[in-house]
Amino acid sequence: MTALPREARLYPAFFNTFFKGMDAEKAHHVGFSMIRAAESTGASVALRRATRPAKTLTTRVMGLDFPSPFGLAAGFDKQGLGTAALADLGFGHIEVGTITGEAQPGNPAPRLFRLVEDKALINRMGFNNDGARAVAPRLKATRQTLTRRFGRRRPVLGVNIGKTKTVALEEAPQDYLVSTAALAVHADYLVVNVSSPNTPGLRQLQDIEALAPLLAAVRQEADRTTGRHVPLAVKIAPDLADEDVDSVAAMAVELGLDGVIATNTTIARDGLATPAADVKTMGAGGLSGAPLKERSLEVLTRLRGALPESVALISVGGVTTGADVRERLELGADLVQGYTAFLYEGPFWAARINRELAR
């Protein structure tokens, strides 16, 4: 891996000057557009050489070879519009989504808020996306691009699916199957998201009586439509009680799930440095970033103690540094994901983490 450009150390000043005062959702679109522009102009070819993970970081999980154990969580590229461009930044995997069976605009803006003092975000995006059928050809093209650029050590492509807001809860399984049928063939692994707080009623699907048949149906449909085994994981909330976390672990073993992703955003607002009045003004939504770290570690430790090694654990929530990633790997995570810190640390974040891990 060649040296990273000096700009990697200047990003905090760039953020404070350019992004800090900008509407958070607009800043996301601007930043993502810049990453995609680097790819379209060919500038990312040189970037790829500087950010590609060391071969020693290759990790085999769920029967897949990940160039690095560190990847980008769902939420950044919701629609598969710039996945290949993000891959040039050094992520070992990129999880696209959340994608729903039908297109939907998401919740009204403003719906994304920064808590800069806490290195956190509150979002109530509401699964805004073009729908599974529209996203499917993008994912197909992305897989081809990744294979062409990286060969056998290409970043892994995860696909995260959720419930369409207008679909009744009792009809949710069929809605997930619409997404599965359209997207599983293009996914290296598939994630069922039942833990976002921004779709009314969605978290009720975390109840084991509802979750077990849903996951079984998705697995059957994925394998049927692809003719292969598609690794399947479920993403859970940090707000589950400990006994419910234990129930998820038992269900994962019973169903033979390939993985559990822990955790999604939280509805809690405890221990924040941002003034309470400001937080109240931001309103409802899921909190992510550094304040989630403690609970995320608790859930990771609890799940690892309850799950056999055959069930992969993907830890996410409050990850900022290479030391954070290493801590989670030492506690039993097979892979680690980040998202919120990406907005604060800049485009060379993944490459820095990979360097720290390689040492």
Binding residues for substrate: 78, 123-127, 193, 198, 264-265
Query: DSSP letter string over 46-66?
Result: HHHHHHPPPGGG-EEETTEEE
Q: Identify whether the C-beta of residue 63 lies closer than 8 Å to the C-beta of residue 13.
A: no
Using CB atoms within 10 A of its CB, is residue 206 exposed (0-12), middle (13-18) or buried (19+)? buried
Task: Show the tokens assigned to 283.
Answer: 């309103």
Task: Show the tokens assigned to 120.
Answer: 């956190």
Task: Show the tokens assigned to 222.
Answer: 């994925």
User: Which residues, at least 6 apart from 13, have a Cβ–Cβ distance to it below 8 Å?
Assistant: none
Helices (H) and strands (E) in the chain — how many of each?
Answer: 13, 13
Rounded to an integer, what distance in angstroms lies between the CA atom of residue 336 and that of residue 324? 9
Task: Show the tokens assigned to 85.
Answer: 């461009």
Q: Identify whether the C-beta of residue 123 lies closer than 8 Å to the C-beta of residue 98.
A: no
Known binding-site residue numbers: 74-78, 98, 123-127, 160, 193, 198, 235, 263-265, 289, 318, 339-340
The answer to whether 68 is a known catalytic residue is no
Buried/exposed code over 58-80 (b: 16+ C-beta within 10 A; e: otherwise): ebebbebebbbbbbbbbbbbbbb
Query: DSSP letter string over 323-337?
Result: HHHHHHHHTT-SEEE
- Strand-pairing partners, residue 344, are none
Rounded to an integer, what distance in angstroms lies between the CA atom of residue 44 and that of residue 50? 10
Q: Active-site residue among 44, 68, 179, 196? A: 196
Whole-number Cα distances in Å, 64 to 184, 301, 310, 340, 348:
15, 23, 13, 25, 25
Task: Show the tokens assigned to 108.
Answer: 């009204």
Query: Which residues are catalytic, by number?
Result: 196
